[in-house]
Amino acid sequence: ERKTRAAAPLTPGQLADGTLVPLLANLGSADGAPAALEAGAEGVGLFRTEFLFLDAQSAPTVRDQQAQYTRLLQAFSGKKVVVRVLDAGADKPLAFLNDADEENPALGLRGIRALRSNETILREQLTALAAADAATDADLWVMAPMVANAEEARYFTDLAHELGIRMAGVMVEVPSAALLADRVLAATGFASIGTNDLTQYTMAADRLLGSVSRFQSPWHPAVLSLVGSVGAAGRDLGKPVGICGEAAADPLLAVVLVGLGATTLSMSPSALADVRASLARFTLDDAHAIAEAALAADGAAEAQAAAKSVAAGLT
Ligand code: PEP
Ligand code: MG
């Protein structure tokens, strides 16, 4: 007979001074829910809905979508689940949403831009999400990708509320939205920073292109400075600011991001344990000091080295 060992209870994400930093999972399918929960995910910080429909030739029906979202929300009953509406275009084209022949699709009609020009698809997705929310008891938040300004933030937030979504927010992954974060956040409920695209667009370096991968570091002080602006705006306005790009999965960078004002971190479930352990080693004051050192550096490598050296002096 096989012995079943009771899983050790995982502590929630928190700093050494007790400051809570909820640790959430990035998922592309409800199939990943058990592993995420087992790794101690306190909810979902980024559910990439476009992954559900990469092979679809026509737009999914409201019914189909409602079934998928219900399955996800049921798996995270009682927990926060941040769902992103379709982020189609660039590296993730959807047959039913992207038909433009674009020479530079990363700068094209993607994310909220594509949805806005196909508003029926956006309305149907929000309708399906609201119905799934009503039928389950997870805490559903819904956000829009590639929002560039306050006007788009207001457009999405108003439409989401109109269709029954209670908590609507935006991703900050276009530098313009980070630069005017106070105005963008004033127009919506929360922000979640996508450091993958924010780095790509800040550094003007294609995230898929190996030849410019040396520019693709979220440690770059230019990227950190934008994260800090969003964090400050969130603090001023009392609005949550999460991180859902790969940067949150780097244990030391996670501390820096919290020092810059991030209130939650979302990552692939396999990164949760190391990030949880790293946060527990530092207080919020420590995180501020480590973040200041990184911000003051000249480049990405120097920022990482500076953060490491300040962190080593603190523990
Ligand atoms: C990001 O850009 O950081 C992000 C989380 O979204 P994606 O990687 O799906 O573009
Ligand atoms: Mg992105």
Q: How far apart are CA 41 and CA 288, in angstroms?
A: 25
Whether the predicted pLDDT of 8 surpasses 70: no
Active site residues: 244
| DSSP of 1-45 | -PPPPPPPPPPPSB-TT--B--EEEEESSGGGHHHHHHTT--EEE
Q: Which of 51, 147, 171 to mutate to test the pocket of ligand 1 (most atoms within 8 A of CB)?
A: 171
Query: Distance, CA 173 to ligand 2 centroid (Å)?
Result: 6
The reported pLDDT for the residue numbered 200 is 97
Q: How far apart are CA 86 and CA 88, in angstroms?
A: 6
Average pLDDT on 135-151 reads 98
Beta-carbon neighbours within 5 Å of ion ligand 2:
173, 194, 197
Q: What is this structure's pTM? A: 0.96
Q: Is the ipTM of this complex over 0.85?
A: yes
* pLDDT tens-place string over residues 266-308: 999 999 999 999 999 999 999 999 999 999 999 999 999 999 9
Q: How far apart are CA 94 and CA 89, in angstroms?
A: 7
Residue 238, CA atoms < 13 Å, CB-side half-sphere? 0
Whether the predicted pLDDT of 3 surpasses 60: no
* pLDDT tens-place string over residues 172-191: 999 999 999 999 999 999 99
Asked if residue 48 belongs to a known ligand binding site, the reply is yes
Which residue, chain included where needed, has tokens 């050790």?
8
Asked if residue 162 belongs to a known ligand binding site, the reply is no
* pLDDT tens-place string over residues 62-104: 999 999 999 999 999 999 999 999 999 888 889 999 877 899 9
What confidence tier does 123 reach under pLDDT thresholds 50, 70, 90? very high
Tokens representing 96? Answer: 């039913």
Q: Which of 29, 48, 50, 174 to mutate to test the pocket of ligand 1 (most atoms within 8 A of CB)?
A: 48
> Under a CB-based contact definition with an 8 Å cutoff, are residues 81 and 72 in contact?
yes
CB within 6 Å of ligand 1 — which residues?
Answer: 46, 48, 87, 173, 194-197, 244-245
The reported pLDDT for the residue numbered 1 is 45
